[in-house]
Chains A and B, each alone.
Chain A
Amino acid sequence: MTEMDRFSSESDQPGPPSPDAPEPSRERMKTLAALADGSLRSNDARAEIEADPQAAMLLAQQRRAVELVREASADVSAPDSLRERLAELDPELASPPEAAPRWRRPSPRWPVPRGRGLLAGMATVAAVVVVVIALTLSGGTSGSPTVAQAAALATRPATLPAPAHTHPGTELIDFSEAGVAFPYWADHFKWKAVGARTDSLGNRHAATVFYVDRGGRRLAYAIVSGPALKPPAGARKVVRSGVTLWVSTSGATTIVTWERDGHSCVIASSDVPAHTLERLASWRADGSIPY
């Protein structure tokens, strides 16, 4: 299964461009291109495009292309063989890749630091929530939680109703922890928030939102207040769309943790494959989901 197939199966994607369709005007092309990559953030321009179904479809295609290219690019680093060759030119050029977390690197155009930080913070929060819940369940000790403990939240029931979409045009729901809001996935991925809960974990606080897809699969997304948790020992590091994720398993549960705004976020599920969890965790909606 290819990336395209996978993604198409998880969300309503724009149909492929028609080679016979007439091109929009040059001005419309500029608007579509700039809206798609975030260079243009005009609500008026966006509303004008969205009022025209054909233009809206073109915008969706542009956005999808941007997303595919950025995701593919994030998976590529200069190989060691090149670094060795460059070291012969200048030893300073042989520095290892990703010496600093990608989301903290300055970016010339994309709002990566803020977005990635928020996702990272959400991941951290989620991990903390899971940990806190696990600690509470195991007697409420005040020791440092672990990500594996935090992932246990996925098995707990919701105690709050499903948070509402903040408002059309945003990709967030009206529920947050430590100022980090949970994402709205219903339109893009067809994953709907169906409930939530909050927990105290020692001296930390955790919020969890439960999402369900059309096939009935369920996942828990937790955000934990306080400093980010350490990734689980042996977790696999994955960088998707510029977001550094740590993927591990605990029994049948797949756990993905990352940071948003310095807080841990944790997604855990026992019936959703890791690559889907990774995609959900790293989705920034062209920067509209702050990290």
Chain B
Amino acid sequence: MRRLDPQSLGEHLDRLYRAAWALSGSREDAEDLVQDTFARVLARPRHIRGESDLAYLMQVLRNTFLTSRRTAGRRPRIAATLDDFEFADPRRGSRPEDAVATNEVFDAIADLDEPFRLALIAVDIVGLSYREAGKALDTPEATVTTRLYRARQQVMLTLSPPEPAEPPAPAPAPRDPDRPALTGGPGRPAAGREGSDP
């Protein structure tokens, strides 16, 4: 058991802000969430048992988010657009293409169902181990892992949706007995080849 050093909180500010953005879905709400989290932590001495400061802070962030959401009735969502995106770090302000990419990724995460969103945030954004994430989220480690897998797949699906399937050919040509069975017709890739639907 050790006491959380309030002066160390600043070291984790960037990670918590990223987590709060992904969790709440907007930068404005993220600021409020981080402020509320830090206010809660600083309200009284905190004692930590066998976990990292960051894991503890993630736990408080999650609890603060859940409490505020219950209070509000529903999670507010403010869609960020490229026009209103401002980099906190002006050194990045000259690269609008990264603003788009960052928004796309954070929006995709914010669209995940909450259990999956929390797992991905804890591991891939905050950088907790599976064990730490499980403890911070009050979820079995194995469950965190499978949620993380599904969350990543969903993020990929959102960011890079599959091509729409081609309409079926109106009348399939008679099969050439010399042609391999998996070969598609004209203009159609062979089944199983990269880019074809499974």
Contacts and interface: CB of A to CB of B under 8 A. Distances in A.
Contacts of B78: none
Interface residues of B, number: 66
Chain A binding site: helix, strand, loop or mixed by DSSP? Answer: helix
B91 interface: yes
A52 B71 CA distance: 48
A16 interface: yes
A237 B90 CA distance: 10
B130 A34 contact: yes
Interface in B89-105: 89, 91-92, 94-95, 97-98, 100-102, 104-105
Given A32-B149, A79-B31, A16 B155 contact: no
A33 interface: yes
A18 interface: yes
Given A3-B97, A30-B142, A36-B152, A86 B160 contact: no
A44 B142 CA distance: 20
Contact of A2 (B88, B104, B162, B197): B104
B87 to A, nearest CB: 8
B14 interface: yes
A90 interface: yes
A15 B17 contact: no
B104 A4 contact: yes
Interface string B31-42: 100110011001
A108 B155 contact: no
B62 interface: no
B23 interface: no
A69 B109 contact: yes
21 contacts: A3-B97, A3-B104, A15-B160, A17-B156, A33-B148, A72-B104, A76-B14, A76-B102, A76-B106, A78-B88, A82-B13, A82-B17, A83-B13, A86-B13, A90-B9, A95-B10, A108-B128, A109-B123, A109-B128, A109-B129, A236-B91
Interface of B: 6-7, 9-11, 13-14, 16-18, 21, 27, 31, 34-35, 38-39, 42, 52, 54-55, 86-89, 91-92, 94-95, 97-98, 100-102, 104-106, 109, 120, 123-125, 127-130, 132, 142, 145-146, 148-150, 152-153, 155-157, 159-162, 194-195, 197-198
Closest 5 CB pairs of A and B: A3-B101, A65-B152, A79-B88, A72-B105, A78-B17
